[in-house]
């Protein structure tokens, strides 16, 4: 790939999950705002009609006079057609339907197990992984056969297991997983600087951090702004807001936005371990024993929300209606940055600058004390056709033991999914910190959840 005058030659992006009714629109907006990139986006989805709608939406956007990046969007019917000869692959899929997701999130509630998200760890995250891995095996085989040199950006959860599955099937794949949770913690520190020191107008990426951990259970052991060590300030900030929490968008905002939180879990973990937890409260709580997720009352006291799947169903209906308006030209895509870094990463990989950001990659030594090859989340340096992980160091012993438990469990889940081994999957299930039931109830819950997702477990003996 070449570029002249800070513009790359046209590139081809394969978007797997191209019928997306949210992530795809964000990508379209980011591509439209970037004048140095252009080319073709092939949209592949098992819902071909949804991919066709997005192709119409993307082409309408590209025809606008206020758009800098010009792209041709095409819906394709097969994975090989999407992948053949492409330069980049973006994966953002929803594994299963809301019926399976409702089982992931709500079946454990019958046994007193509550999950705020249910897509990464806990009973829901595990079962979601079991049905997602077969999809990722097919995707990895397709990339191996049709686009072996392409860079692959994964957005799907469970992030760690999905990214690891790609490497398990195609060890030479050039894949990495992206998550915006660390960005939220950087934005929290922007608010902290404004409140505590009166420093306004700081950009999120001006907060320099060292990231170490695994996706949705990431930690910062250093944070600075223009050479100022932010840890002492963060301690004072936590002390000030520990009891009531802190919400940049106003007190009690967590009650009106189902994805919001008052950072009380994050602050409590800082006092307990001395490092800054760099994910949102809803995710962090699921990695711990159920002290924050004991029951809905405890969740409310911690000032975050459980996300009922019925809310997601209603939100999807709204998205479908908006999709129709966008496809018919009755509404326009919002031309504003999404806050994601996918386009910046693509630019850096094409040689248009350099970028340092947090990503999920197999451990090559960047996370000390964790197994080689296990997918971990640290900073990495993006440059022309290269991603080099930054050596992040090792977590303190107490935190390391928590993270290592999840690393081992996620590796176990992946192997269970690849080998269709129910016994191995149960071993991981009963070893999750949220599962505090006796063996009989654990077996009953596990069997119900497998039964509810068996349509996505071909070849399993359930």
- Rounded CA gap, 299 and 294, in Å? 7
* Residues in the annotated binding site: 157, 179, 216
DSSP string, 365-404: SSBTTS-TT-EEEEEEEEETTEEEEPP-B---HHHHHHHH
SS (H, E, C) 303-365: CCCCCCHHHHHHHHHHHHHHHHHHHCCCCCCCCCCCCCCHHHHHHHHCCCCCEEEEEEEECCC
**Beta carbons within 8 Å of 406's beta carbon, 6+ residues apart:** 121, 214, 217, 287
| Catalytic member of 180, 241, 315, 406 | 180
Distance of CA 400 to the CA centre of its chain: 22
CA dihedral 414, 370, 284, 356 (to 10 degrees): -100
* Residues in the annotated binding site for Mn(2+): 179, 216
- Rounded CA gap, 32 and 330, in Å? 19
- Rounded CA gap, 429 and 417, in Å? 12
For the record, the structure tokens of 25 come out as 């629109």
Active site residue 400: no
- Rounded CA gap, 83 and 99, in Å? 30
SS (H, E, C) 82-121: HHCCCCEEEECCCCCCHHHHHHHHHHHHHHCCCCCCCCCC
* Residues in the annotated binding site for substrate: 157
Long-range contacts of 56-65 (CB under 8 A, 24+ apart): 56/327, 57/25, 57/28, 57/323, 57/326, 57/327, 57/333, 58/24, 58/28, 60/326, 60/329, 60/332, 60/333, 61/28, 61/29, 61/32, 61/332, 61/333, 61/335, 62/32, 64/32, 64/332, 64/335
Q: How far is CA 307 from CA 278, 322, 336, in A?
A: 20, 22, 27
- Rounded CA gap, 47 and 52, in Å? 9
- Rounded CA gap, 302 and 243, in Å? 10
Report the DSSP beta bridge partners of residue 389.
Answer: 380
**Beta carbons within 8 Å of 205's beta carbon, 6+ residues apart:** 186
For the record, the structure tokens of 183 come out as 């960005």
What residues act catalytically? 180
């Amino acid at each position: 790939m070449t570029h002249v005058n800070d513009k790359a030659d046209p590139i081809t992006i394969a978007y797997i999950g191209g019928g997306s009714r949210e992530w795809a629109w964000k990508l379209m907006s980011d591509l439209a705002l970037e004048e140095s990139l252009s080319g073709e986006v092939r949209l592949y989805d098992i819902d071909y009609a949804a991919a066709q709608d997005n192709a119409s939406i993307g082409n309408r956007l590209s025809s606008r006079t206020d758009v800098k990046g010009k792209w041709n969007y095409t819906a394709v019917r097969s994975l090989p057609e999407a992948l053949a000869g492409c330069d980049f692959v973006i994966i953002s899929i929803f594994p299963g339907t809301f019926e399976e997701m409702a089982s992931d999130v709500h079946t454990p509630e019958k046994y007193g197990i509550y999950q705020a998200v249910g897509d990464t760890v806990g009973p829901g995250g595990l079962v979601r992984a079991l049905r997602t891995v077969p999809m990722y095996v097919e995707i990895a085989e397709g990339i191996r056969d049709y686009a072996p040199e392409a860079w692959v950006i994964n957005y799907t959860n469970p992030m760690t297991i999905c990214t690891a599955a790609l490497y398990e099937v195609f060890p030479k794949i050039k894949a990495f997983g992206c998550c915006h949770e660390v960005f939220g913690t950087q934005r929290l520190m922007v608010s902290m600087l404004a409140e505590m020191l009166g420093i306004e107008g700081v950009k999120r990426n001006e907060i320099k951090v060292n990231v170490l951990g695994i996706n949705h259970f990431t930690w910062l052991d250093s944070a600075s702004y223009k050479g100022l060590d932010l840890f002492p300030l963060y301690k004072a900030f936590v002390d000030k807001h520990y009891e009531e929490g802190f919400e940049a968008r106003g007190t009690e905002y967590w009650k009106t936005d189902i994805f919001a939180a008052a950072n009380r879990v994050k602050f409590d973990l800082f006092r307990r371990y001395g490092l800054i937890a760099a994910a949102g409260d809803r995710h962090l709580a699921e990695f711990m024993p159920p002290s924050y997720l004991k029951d809905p009352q405890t969740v409310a006291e911690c000032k975050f929300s459980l996300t009922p799947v019925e809310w997601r169903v209603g939100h999807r209906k709204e998205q479908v209606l908006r999709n129709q308006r966008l496809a018919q030209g009755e509404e326009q895509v919002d031309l504003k940055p999404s806050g994601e870094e996918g386009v910046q990463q693509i630019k850096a990989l094409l040689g248009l600058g350099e970028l340092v950001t947090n990503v999920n990659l197999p451990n090559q030594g960047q996370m000390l004390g964790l197994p080689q090859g296990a997918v971990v989340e640290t900073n990495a340096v993006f440059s022309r056709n290269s991603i080099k992980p930054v050596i992040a160091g090792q977590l303190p012993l107490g935190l390391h033991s928590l993270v290592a438990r999840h690393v081992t469990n996620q590796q176990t889940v992946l192997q269970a999914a690849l080998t269709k081994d129910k016994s191995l999957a149960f071993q991981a299930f009963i070893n999750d910190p949220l599962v505090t039931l006796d063996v009989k109830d654990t077996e009953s819950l596990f069997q119900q959840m497998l039964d509810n997702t068996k349509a996505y477990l071909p070849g399993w003996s359930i």
